[in-house]
Amino acid sequence: MGTYAVTGSASGMGAASAETLAAAGHTVIGVDLHDADIIADLGTAGGREQAAEEILTRCGGTLDGVAAIAGVGPNLPDAAAVMSINYFGPVHLLELLRPALAAADAGRAVAIGSNAATTVPLIDDRLVELALAGEEEAAREHARAAAEAMPAELRELAPSISAYASSKFALARWIRRTAVTPEWARQGVLLNAIAPGAVLTPLMLGSTGEAGDPDRFPTPMPLGVFGEPADIAFWVHQFLKPEARFTTGAILYVDGGTDAAMRPDGTPTAMSLG
């Protein structure tokens, strides 16, 4: 049995993932703002460093896997906080924990992205660039300014929608770029992401209110049902298994077919020789 760290373990997909791993006999180190083994604010550099230090103490320097699930939605009024929590939080924590994952025989890491990265037409290219460059303060300033410049009706509906979608887009890019570097791949540490769609979590309900009829949801729901946290926890568990030895840099859509319905020809995209 292994030892796994799960962020956002107090509710939603994080809680379901922690429960799934514990039910399989693993030791789970939960991280959240409350009701967790480690109480830490992953929206700050200090909170991430504190969380990493406590995780390393609890696991003795060898960690079998990390599920970076903590996140916030587009309803959060502060777009800067959305960037810090959704992008810099998982990226910084995973970087801090990489040596402990490398010390395990089969270190695994999975982060939670979103299908909003490909289904929301509000990606801020400059914000993505700042995130990937590691410029957190500049990204925070840009996110706030961009949010304030949005039309009032959009700000009222989802004040941080652009920062949310951009944070998840940047996270997917970081996963793809980082997973294949020698520090991760040649150390045997696999790094993947899950892109959920409409899953009935406190985060989603906080953003949309009542879920209502799936067929009246703003985005297509081909299966006619919303996802449950357990649907995501299942794939978190699969990515963290030692047997998942030949998959890294993957972004798995677990969204009931929404991305495929909206962008049927978006993937695969042929490589250009130009």
Identify the CATH number of the domain in which residue 174 sits. 3.40.50.720
Residue 207: the pLDDT is: 63
Q: What mean pLDDT value characterizes the chain?
A: 96
Instruction: Flag whether pLDDT at 274 surpasses 90.
Output: no
Domain contains 265: no
List phi, psi (to 5°) of 150: -70, 155
Domain contains 271: no
Reading the block at residue 143, the tokens are 């996110």
Instruction: Flag whether pLDDT at 206 surpasses 80.
Output: no
Domain contains 139: yes
Other beta carbons within 10 angstroms of residue 199's beta carbon come to 23
Range of the domain at 227: 3-253
State the catalytic residue, choosing from 4, 87, 164, 253: 164
pLDDT digits (tens, 9 = 90+) for 17-47: 999 999 999 999 999 999 999 999 999 999 9
pLDDT digits (tens, 9 = 90+) for 55-93: 999 999 999 999 999 999 999 999 999 999 999 999 999
Residue 243: the pLDDT is: 96
Domain contains 263: no
Residue 208: the pLDDT is: 61
Q: Where are the alpha helices (DSSP H) in 180-242?
A: 182-185, 202-208, 229-240
Q: Report the number of distinct structural domains present in the chain.
A: 1
164 is catalytic: yes
Domain contains 213: yes
